[in-house]
A and B are shown apart, each in its own frame.
Chain A
Amino acid sequence: MADPIKVYPSKPDKVYFFGTCLIDMFYPDAGMAGIQLLEREGIEVIFPQDQTCCGQPAFTSGYHDEARSVARAQLDLFPEDWPIVVPSGSCGGMMRKHYPDLFKDTADEVKAAGVAGRVWELTDFLLNVCHIKLDDLGEPTTVAMHTSCSARREMGVAEVGPKLLGQLNNVTLVEQARAEECCGFGGTFAVRHPEISGAMVEEKVETLVDTGARAFVTTDCGCLMNINGFAEKNRHPIAGRHILSFLWERTNDDKGDGQ
């Protein structure tokens, strides 16, 4: 669950960027957008090339030895005391909330806690640490927003996305029915229980379509892959983007740069 009180650091000169494996392979534009937004705020972004995955897929599937081995490979990548920003509530939640438990009673316990304490979900970091001010350069448009369950409940950043979108003068944000309900992704849940997951994403897409918006943004690429995949297969007139891609595109003159 979300921290009762969050203590944000002051704006740093440098941050570590943890890109997540889904962004790395499927949505690198979201990662690039996040990096460019940080750089525009005057922050130097360090991307350790040896990063792979936070270990969450194995962790939530119950394979904790395997998860720990992958997570351990990330622990040495952030030696300086800079914040670690993650463009995902889900991977951020894994690192911030579950690393301490995963490494409890091991030699890496202290190191894991040290990493966990520096992890921030990127939109939260942009809004509440960088105090970003967005200048909307795009055409008028209407979007819906889907906040991932981990961003909402684990990282406690549900209000961040709407606040950032609210800074965009030409963007109208519409809320779908049951906005807080899971889209049905849940990592391996979508594969272990495909029919239940299918029923969940079906209703999520319906409520998004019902808003009348033809586009939505989301905090997490798992949800994006799930919702877009269902909408595309069933020819529903809605398509989503990662919120970072959307924010960067609307506030940046040179639209080709992030791709």
Chain B
Amino acid sequence: MSKLIISGSPHVHGDESVSKIMYTVVLALVPAMLVSVYFFGFDAIRVLAISVAACVFFEWLIQKYLIKGPLTINDGSAVVAGVLLAFNVPANLPWWILVIGALVTIGVGKMSFGGLGRNPFNPALVGRVFMLISFPVQMTSWPVPKPLFAPQLTDAITGPTALGILKEGIGAGKTIDQIMADPHMPDYIDRLTGNMSGSLGEMSAMALILGGIFMVIRKVIDWQVPVSIIATVYVFAGIFHLIDPQHYIEPAFHLFTGGLMLGAIYMATDMVSSPMSMKGKVVYGVGIGLLTIIIRLWGAYPEGISFAILILNAFTPLINMTMKPKRFGKATA
């Protein structure tokens, strides 16, 4: 008999692995990918492919030649970052901006902190915000969706986003009723299915929620983060809408426009940069929700969730230090 193996308990391991988690996220993103391809056609495929390829390439390059550490491009985390980065940009973004964004995502957002597990901020958001600040024009010229099989009637190539129309209208002193009458404003159905201008992957709330439910069932994310963000945005926007319905749009509008669903379900739930305890997750989610709606209502940008998540990412260590899980045998406080 060959030698017996000695190691401490436990002697069995569950079937979780890092790559399994990452590819589950990718799988959860597939419905939203399909919707984006439906609405933006080849452009969507182009942006997704460039972003994923560039992220994986830079991860490999940096690990092999700069850090000279172990190669982990197979763990799927670079693929996830790539898809999320693509989802956060307009479908007509020039390829070279995307490549620069990928470099910042992987190089600055992830590797400069020591790689997977050590990055305090969501890497894809670091990349996105960098591009937004460096290339504001290209990053905010949104293509109008042209559904794959629909007759191509419109000659407009780009158009404003629903949140953009809202921000501009409020700024010009229009009432909500006047803003909603704007011909560019997507209707309810379009807001739900994603037939509107915006970043590649933020469009279809339905597809994003579907993926979110899948991730909750597969225990890749906890529902506390997205639900507390969405609930906070809804309640907060709702209070202002009740006070002054002609100045503050109905809260549901905020839920289904812009990057809220994408951010709440896929970006804020990034395990590495979000808090560990359930209590902490709720505090973090409420914080993101509050900041998002503050920026949307009174900030300079029509959209606020990216900034809100990055800011709360910075608070994660503090939340982890103060929001401990409920210990066994301690009276509930």
Bound pair (A, B): no
What residues make up the interface of A, taking CB atoms closer than 8 Å to B? none
